[in-house]
Structure 1
Amino acid sequence: MFKVIKSTDIPCYDVEDSVCWGPSKSSDFTTASAWEELRLKGPKAPWVQLVWHKNLQPRHSMFGWRLAHEKLPTEEEYQRWGVSLASKCMLCKKQCDSALHLILNCEFNNVVWGNFALGLALVGISQLPLLIFEIGGKESVDARM
């Protein structure tokens, strides 16, 4: 095998050698292009565009991410960590404090969101998703339609 390799004639051109990084469109190596090549890519969650929208403040994006991953500092989360607290929602005093309860089921929160929606002349809580898209900017409304 070594004789075959040694006897193979390699053509020589008058072109200077250059280094090319294949995964990059510009052929330049960057840490970003290396990361994109190495990382595991999974399917995008349907809420990603809404949460990481360019018109949202980072703290609102972080809240949305934490909500989607059930990482809000609720009583339910503290119980998973082994910290025992009283098991009632601090707002309505009825159910266990969880992200799902706070966002969808808490009577106090529903009144607050309802008043917020009425203040913006929206009809009912069913229009809340449209409100969220409008807060995100006109681009997000257009992208939805």
Structure 2
Amino acid sequence: MGPKMKSNGGKIAWGAVCKPKELLDLKIPHSCSWSWRKILQLRHHARHFIKHLIGNGIDTSFWFDNWSARGPLCLRFSSTILSLLGIDENTSMANFIVNNGWNFPPALLSVIPKLNSIQQPVPHRKDKLIWTVSPFDSFSLKHTISHLMDHGPLVPWYNLVWHTASIPRMKFNMWLAVQSRLPTLDSQAMVHHGNTCVLCGIEIESHSHLFFRCDFSAPLWEFIQARCRFYNYFLIWEDMILWISSRWKSNSPMNILRKISLSALVYHTWEERNNRIFRGNPSTQNRVLTKTSSPSTRLRCGGSLLHHRKLRLPELVSVLQVALVEGWVALGLYFL
């Protein structure tokens, strides 16, 4: 608190000087955090998503709020029009309601003739705010993100990456891998490291080489194929992904096991490659295979298959045989 006001000192009408401002109209402060700055930069989207349904008009601003079909008037007209019409910018819609209907000044109607066609007020009801991109009228993060995102065609590998049984860190890594977006040594961004694969030391590192033509990762991939009862004939990574995506579309128990096994092997192969480049800490093939069937991977398999609605006895026996042969005892314990 400042010093006490003296009777002979000047006084300030703080209520007139410090007028309240809407969050949507505040300037972005220079000292705010990165996250808060990004949120404030999205306000122009939020302004159009917030709609006022007029009841008695008391809580809806004539000038600032989004109540008309074409958005807030403050975004369409200069504020000088208000002074010419004799309207204060803090005027609410209630000022134009007379006898349960609209009563706009003729001068205002000459500027905005469509005011005569807006929905009639409901004086016995309060104004209501709705979030226009949500089917429930209230804010929904899911529907808002969906509305803001660009929606392209569904990619063929969608269910290979984004199935519900996948482990988040492996899911993100697999998403990059299927698009050949991992920073392999054959890309310009990693040229200062050289381009020879650090796992085998023979060929140039690329997605097709790492997954799974490399002398280090190829035996691991063959082991997974044998245990999950499938065989892949392709040597090009993109061709392999298309082939697998076309055959593992369903979420059958065996396909769930295959998808998780593939994601885990891609993840831990990439992890081993990074450990050798950035930490100088190599591991053996057996160690990488052990991590591929780590407890988190086994438990995710078990939990997903346990809640599988279409799990039939022959499939259960088949999957358990694979799990037990691989040493995935934790998966077997879910069903014993």
TM class by smaller structure: 0.5 to 0.7
* Distance in structure 2 (CA, Å) of the matches to 1:68 and 1:122: 22
Percent identical: 22
Q: Does 1:55 align with 2:183?
A: no
Q: Does 1:20 align with 2:130?
A: yes
Q: Of residues 67, 70, 92 in structure 1, which corresponds to 2:200?
A: 92
* Distance in structure 2 (CA, Å) of the matches to 1:53 and 1:88: 34
| AA aligned opposite 2:179 | H
| SS of residue in 2 equivalent to 1:84 | helix
Q: CA deviation at 1:61?
A: 0.5
The 5 A counterparts of 1:77-116 are 77=187, 80-81=188-189, 83-116=191-224
* Distance in structure 2 (CA, Å) of the matches to 1:27 and 1:45: 31
* Distance in structure 1 (CA, Å) of the matches to 2:161 and 2:232: 20
Residues matched between the structures, number? 137
Distance change (3 Å), C-alpha of 1:83 and 1:32: same
The 5 A counterparts of 1:40-79 are 40-77=150-187
* Distance in structure 2 (CA, Å) of the matches to 1:103 and 1:6: 63
Q: Does 1:117 align with 2:117?
A: no
After TM superposition, the score normalised by the length of structure 2 is 0.33
Per-residue CA distance 1:29-67 (angstroms, 9 max, x = gap)? 344433333332222322222212221111210220121
Q: Of residues 249, 256, 259 in structure 2, which corresponds to 1:134?
A: 256
After TM superposition, the score normalised by the length of structure 1 is 0.66
* Distance in structure 1 (CA, Å) of the matches to 2:192 and 2:131: 54
In 1, are the aligned partners of 2:131 and 2:139 still within 8 Å (CA)? yes
* Distance in structure 2 (CA, Å) of the matches to 1:113 and 1:6: 68
Distance change (3 Å), C-alpha of 1:65 and 1:6: closer
RMSD value, Cα: 3.8
| SS of residue in 2 equivalent to 1:19 | strand
Q: Of residues 127, 137, 146 in structure 2, which corresponds to 1:36?
A: 146
* Distance in structure 1 (CA, Å) of the matches to 2:149 and 2:138: 19
Greater Cα shift, 46-55 or 29-38: 29-38
Provide the residue aligned with 2:295 in structure 1: none
Per-residue CA distance 1:91-137 (angstroms, 9 max, x = gap)? 3333201112111422442222112333x2625445x9459833245
In 2, are the aligned partners of 1:75 and 1:97 still within 8 Å (CA)? yes
